[in-house]
Amino acid sequence: MILRKYSSFIITLAIFAVLLLIGLLRPTMWQPVALIMFYIAMGQAFNIFLGMTGYVNFGYVAFLAIGSYGMALGISRFYHTGIGLWLIPLGFTLAALMAGLLSVLVGGIALRLRGAYFAIATIGVNEGLKYLIEGAKFWGGSEGIIISKPMRVTFGRHLANSLSTFWADIFLFAIAVLAAYLTFRFMHSRVGYALTAVREDEDAAKVMGVNATKYKLIAFIVSSCVAGLIGATTWCLKSTYVFPEDVFEVSYTVEAIVIVMLGGSGTLLGPIIGGLIYGICKYWLAVLLPGLQLLILAPLIIVIIVAFPGGIVGVIREKTRGTAFDQVIV
């Protein structure tokens, strides 16, 4: 019984372990594996909110972006204080905090209202924030923040190099495990049950005394904080610079939607399967049809929504309903 409850979480960890092993044993595979993990983690963080609530955060990429700024500010503003390697946890803390604050601001206002209004409020987050940074010219304005020099000065050339080529991806694995654990915990907790009730019938849930806004806000904040951590490691620590034009790029929101809907929203394994397939396909598409990825992805989203709204995991569950397998992949 216990094993059955944890089965999907164990499968998740096994997939991550296999990916990590492939990357470690075959150095040429490290970058593709890191790319796939980025998509898996991004899908997982997105799924915590979309899957649980059925609400879409169209400004999702802004939360990764603000996380990358958190890390960049942590390193570029504090590297001369001599705290050495503590800069990294400081950067991650700032990333999560800043993404969390943004989510409290946006979610606190928009989640009191029903679905359509939330979508409307979030679609402006990305543009709004980008234009604020570029217009008011803080945090480097449109020139962004480059952290390669502070990193070299603090950590030395060798360590700075391995931080961005190796450790940044290891952090990504850790964040993906964290996201999987949070998703799993949510699904089997008060928050998850409350959100399921709200998603199925908001009015009925409210009558039963469920504070819909509170639980939606919890899921939104958690999803945003994890997104901030992903941005901090992949878009700052790994790339060693943050440019507003690069990080506030709406196509990442599209990719997150594709990953979650393809795999199956509201399930633990959905974004992982979606991320795996998407990561591999993207690698091929980038080689075969460079520049046309979005042209292919957009109709794909529509086909999934119209024909398989449950995604791959949904289809598999439909086919295996009543068998032991159905229980395993919840």
Partner 1 sequence: MQFLGMLSGNLLNGIILGAVYGLMTMGLSLIFGVLKVVNVGHGAFIMVGAYVAYWMFTLFGLAPILSVPIGLILGMALGFLFFYLVMKRLLDAPELSTLLATFAIGIFLEEIAKVIWGPDFRGYSWNVGSLHLPIATIPMAKIYALMSSIAIAIGLYLWFKKTRAGTALRCLVEDKEGARVCGINVTGFYALSFALGLGFTVLSGVLLTLFIPVGISPYMGGIYTLKAFVIAVLGGLASPWGAFFGGFIFGLVENGSYSLLGLIPNVEPFSLTQFVAFMVLLVILLLKPEGLLGEK
- Whole-number minimum distance, CB 60 to partner 1, in Å? 12
Let me know: does 57 contact 49? Beta carbons within 8 Å.
yes
Token output for 246: 């690069």
Please give the residues from 46 up to 85 whose contact with partner 1 meets the rule CB under 8 A. Answer: 50, 54-56, 58
Q: Check residue 17 for interaction with partner 1 (CB under 8 A).
A: no
Q: Check residue 119 for interaction with partner 1 (CB under 8 A).
A: yes
Residue 147: strand, helix, or coil: coil
In the Cβ-directed half-sphere of 139, how many Cα atoms lie within 13 Å? 23
For residue 321, what is the DSSP state?
T
Token output for 27: 């150095």
Nearer to partner 1, 19 or 313 (CB): 313
**Residue from 70, 93, 248 nearest 147 by CA:** 70
Q: Check residue 123 for interaction with partner 1 (CB under 8 A).
A: yes
Q: Check residue 222 for interaction with partner 1 (CB under 8 A).
A: no
Please give the residues from 92 up to 111 whose contact with partner 1 meets the rule CB under 8 A. Answer: 105-106, 109-110
Nearer to partner 1, 56 or 175 (CB): 56
Q: What residues contact residue 213 under an 8 Å CB cut-off, 6+ apart?
A: 111, 112
Nearer to partner 1, 7 or 224 (CB): 224
3-state helix, strand, coil in the chain (%, to 5): 85, 0, 15
Nearer to partner 1, 134 or 169 (CB): 134
> 148 — phi, psi (to 5°)?
-65, -35
Chain position carrying tokens 């915990």: 185
Nearer to partner 1, 237 or 304 (CB): 304
Class of residue 159 by CB neighbours under 10 A (exposed 0-12, middle 13-18, buried 19+) = middle
Nearer to partner 1, 52 or 90 (CB): 52
- Whole-number minimum distance, CB 76 to partner 1, in Å? 20
Nearer to partner 1, 11 or 300 (CB): 300
- Would you give the binding string for partner 1 spanning residues 250-289, x where CB under 8 A is met? x---x--x---x----------------------------
Nearer to partner 1, 26 or 112 (CB): 112
- Would you give the binding string for partner 1 spanning residues 137-176, x where CB under 8 A is met? x---------------------------------------
Long-range interactions of 6-10: CB distance < 8 A, separation 24+: 6/184, 7/327, 7/328, 7/329, 7/330, 8/184, 8/267, 8/268, 8/269, 8/328, 8/329, 8/330, 9/180, 9/181, 9/184, 9/268
Q: Check residue 312 for interaction with partner 1 (CB under 8 A).
A: no
Question: 132, 204, 208, 315: which one contacts partner 1 (CB under 8 A)?
Answer: 132
List residues near partner 1 by CB under 8 A.
50, 54-56, 58, 105-106, 109-110, 112-113, 115-117, 119-121, 123-125, 127-129, 131-132, 134-137, 250, 254, 257, 261, 292, 294-295, 297-299, 301-302, 305-306, 309
